[in-house]
Structure 1
Amino acid sequence: MNGQAAGPVIRRATPADAAGCLDIYAPFVRETTVTFEDEVPSVPEFAGRITRALAGYDWLVAEVNGRIAGYAYAGPVKERAAYRWSCEVSVYVDPGARGLGLGRTLYRALFVRLEELGFRRLLAVVALPNEPSVALHLAMGFRDAGRLERIGFKHGRWLDVAWLLADLGPDPAAPPGHPDLAAPPG
């Protein structure tokens, strides 16, 4: 990601973007506790994740100089029907592209799309410690919704997660009413 960077291009992902997204994700799996996944998924598995996200939620990529530099996506909180107006969101940015505002840019675009789809509540689950992620989510309007202590074990230690919530729409407390979403997404 070195060199003169053009402005990012934010676009909807396709399954063909799986390898580029996986290039960003794999070091997080291998080297950090940011994700609780402990084995890097295959490119076909990652393509399947993109396909599932696109079916009822969304997955966006940020390209800088023609290369994927970050991505953000949404998926179900739980499978039960009453959760259908809520979704869990995540964002990953290539370490070489940090400082360009890609996390915020991706999230803004994703949240607009999710609101258009009728979603009312966003959930982010952040493995701790991860002050940059917590700070990003708070800056994007999320609020603390709780902490699960010692809920994950990776790299030889117990880890906590923060649950962060944000609302979508002009009146998130109003009953859902998007005409295209009579059933759960997906």
Structure 2
Amino acid sequence: MQDHAEAVEIRPGTGGDLEELTRIYNHYVTGTPITFDLEPFTVDERKAWLDAHPEHGPHRLLVADVDGRALGYATSSPFRPKQAYLTSVETSVYLAPDAGGRGLGTRLYEALFEALAEEDVHRAYAAITVPNEASYRIHERFGFEPRGVFTEVGRKFGRYWDVAWFEKRLQTDGSDTAG
């Protein structure tokens, strides 16, 4: 039985994490339909992605660090590039293949949504390749609600995949109305 009481530090991602974060993401690129990227990335190719997630602001990258090793990360990224979407983010969480079942995804999302509560962000969205029960569970636990399914929207590994969209309301105190 694994010890779940390990010391986990949730912190902003840095350049020193990029190699491990790229390795984690590439696991999902090459071995799963969870992301629709088809080719693995080099560390250099992921630099722009890292730079797009500064320590402060609505677009963040948080890392779960255990004994100096990044075992997972969560991001809030622009939902779409047009300006009217600036108060919406797309969130995701990725764990190293050996890091599941330890509560790291939960810890990452707790920290991410705590940080987003201080930002001008109205909605969070998550795109989940179907089926992915673990992702459904964590998103529903964090208050995401299913909003629809895009059928056969992506092709990977020689077949088409559906994507379920989930939405979470972030501002609930009346500050979410335009003046």
Same fold by TM-score, threshold 0.5 exceeded?
yes
Q: Which residue of 2 aligns with 1:127?
A: 129
Q: Which residue of 1 aligns with 2:114?
A: 112
RMSD: 2.0
Number of residue pairs matched by the alignment: 176
Q: Which residue of 1 aligns with 2:29?
A: 29
Q: Considering Cα pairs closer than 8 Å and 6+ residues apart, tell me whether 1 or 2 has the greater RCO.
A: 1
Which stretches in structure 1 are left out of the alignment for 5+ residues?
A: 178-186
Q: What amino acid is aligned across from residue 115 of structure 1 in structure 2?
A: A
Change (3 A) 1:87 1:6: same
* Partners of 1:63 and 1:89 in 2: CA distance: 19
- State the Cα distance separating 1:92 from its structure 2 match: 0.2
2:40 is the alignment partner of 1:43:
no
- How many percent identity over aligned positions? 38
Pick one of 61, 84, 87 that aligns with 1:85.
87
* Partners of 2:90 and 2:172 in 1: CA distance: 20
Which stretches in structure 2 are left out of the alignment for 5+ residues?
A: none
Q: Which residue of 2 aligns with 1:97?
A: 99
Q: Which residue of 2 aligns with 1:6?
A: 6
Q: What amino acid is aligned across from residue 51 of structure 1 in structure 2?
A: D
**CA-to-partner distance for each residue in 1:143-165, whole Å, 9 max, x for gaps?**
00110000000001100000000
Q: What amino acid is aligned across from residue 130 of structure 1 in structure 2?
A: N
Pick one of 62, 68, 77 that aligns with 2:64.
62
Q: Which structure dedicates a bigger proportion of its chain to helix? A: 1
- State the Cα distance separating 1:6 from its structure 2 match: 2.5
- State the Cα distance separating 1:3 from its structure 2 match: 8.0
* Partners of 1:61 and 1:172 in 2: CA distance: 31
Q: TM-score, normalised by structure 1?
A: 0.88
Q: Which residue of 2 aligns with 1:154?
A: 156
> SS of the counterpart of 1:108?
helix
Q: In the alignment, is the contact (CA less than 8 A) between 1:16 and 1:47 conserved in 2?
A: no
* Partners of 2:26 and 2:141 in 1: CA distance: 26
Change (3 A) 1:4 1:121: closer
* Deviant stretches of 4+, over 4 Å: 2-5
Q: TM-score, normalised by structure 2?
A: 0.91
